[in-house]
Structure 1
Amino acid sequence: MVGLPITDRATKLFLLAHQDDEIAFAPLLARLKADGQPVRVVYLTDGGAGRASPELRCTESRRALASLGILPSEVVFLGAAMAVPDGALFRRLPQVYAALESVCRGSDAPGEIYTLGWEGGHVDHDAAHVIAMALAVARDRVHQAWQVPFYRAIDRGPPWFTLFAPLTANGPVARLSLTRRESWLRAALVRFFPSQWRSLTALGPLVLWRALTDPTLKLQPMVPGRLWERPTPGRLLYEKLYAVSFAEVSACIGAFLGELGITEANPP
């Protein structure tokens, strides 16, 4: 894939779960800004799990995004404004979606929509994917909605998880070839998140390894029917780490989508 999956110059909307998820999108964000494309980055939780406050998390992301050329006016900390706890986005889907609809009204309505992959890595990532899909359906943007894999569990390890690895069930993979500088951006962004040193101690080396060995960014189309399927057959990473079951998450997702008239029997 040589160019970007862009069909117009409308605002490119990035729906992220946490303040540091931009690591997965860094090369794409930087290239869009270099091309003069308008973007909007929306965070859907307050990111305040553990010892880091939401205020600190937002400050870290502002600095990281600024290094990519993203303007403060292009960033919305929706989850922090709504006090959506890290790890609880799937329980707040209707409220966050309604607020997001307000953000997206008017002349700044989104063109392409980008979000995290449906992969069972972090429960908030999958919840962000669901919200992005709902918005894409409402705005007739399913054909312009893209998912980027970040991290998920593997059957055996160590390190027990894999990074930037597309799932075959999520559809065909578009590979954006990166320059050497672009390839290093994901690793370079790690330095902006000292509050997350515990998780990045595990993720950071793999991010660096990918920069050295795989100078591509992988995107996949969003597949509505996947929302009623387990991302992977085995135990999901969030089931292993946080004891949150897919059954519980799926029940919340099904209720939310049902309110919008999107069901397994009547997918978009």
Structure 2
Amino acid sequence: MNYRLDIQYDGSRYGGWQRQKDTDNTIQGKIEDVLTKMLGTEVQIQGAGRTDAGVHAKGQVANFHADCEKSCEEICQYLNEYLPEDIEISKVSEAEERFHSRLNAKEKVYQYRIVSGIHKNVFERKYQCPLHETLDVNAMQEAAKYLEGTHDFKSFCSNKKMKKSSVRTIYSIEIVDLTQEIVITYTGNGFLYNMVRILTGTLIEVGRGRRKPEEMKGILEGCDRKEAGFTAPARGLTLLEVRY
């Protein structure tokens, strides 16, 4: 049976989604450990997105194959009983045999939150970038238009050894000024390593007046990480949704 997991997590204290050899403190690792305990055999899950250390998710999706006598509701209950309190399985459901959470994903939606006011919200502090600056949102919106569409986003990727195509399509970048907070929502068919955070850092530099909106075209054409802005902190980023 192929099972789909809908997952949410606070990534603050984890080394990212993907299981790693040098630490057991990853989201994937925690879920696989509980599933392995439940089934009595090693289980590997496939995640839709490999979120970085410190990045959060409200709508992560994963899948795994297993023979299990428990119902989907019982699997969900078991997982949530033994997982840490900052990881929650929202739903377990049966998926088509060939369903793959990453390969079948059509769109992913990420959101980045920036504190622009002088005060922080202590209850939201782990999910916002504490910039505390006034940014030119209109300039950021103008710059975002250059980044929408299908482009080679190599300049916005931290993986220097990447051999696969770095061409991706961003369907929309919405930037909303909420007075004390700026929210940037990215919707695309996929994102490279650190891509959303580098896009955000570059847009922040536009908002600070250090770059002009029209410079985005040259950054894309340069295909060089050094052309783009800084990598925004992980804490402000959340994977909102994966669409199939």
TM superposition score category, shorter chain reference: under 0.3
Q: Give the TM-score taking structure 2 as reference length.
A: 0.27
User: By percentage of residues, which structure has more strand?
Assistant: 2
User: By percentage of residues, which structure has more helix?
Assistant: 1
Rg (Cα) greater in structure:
2
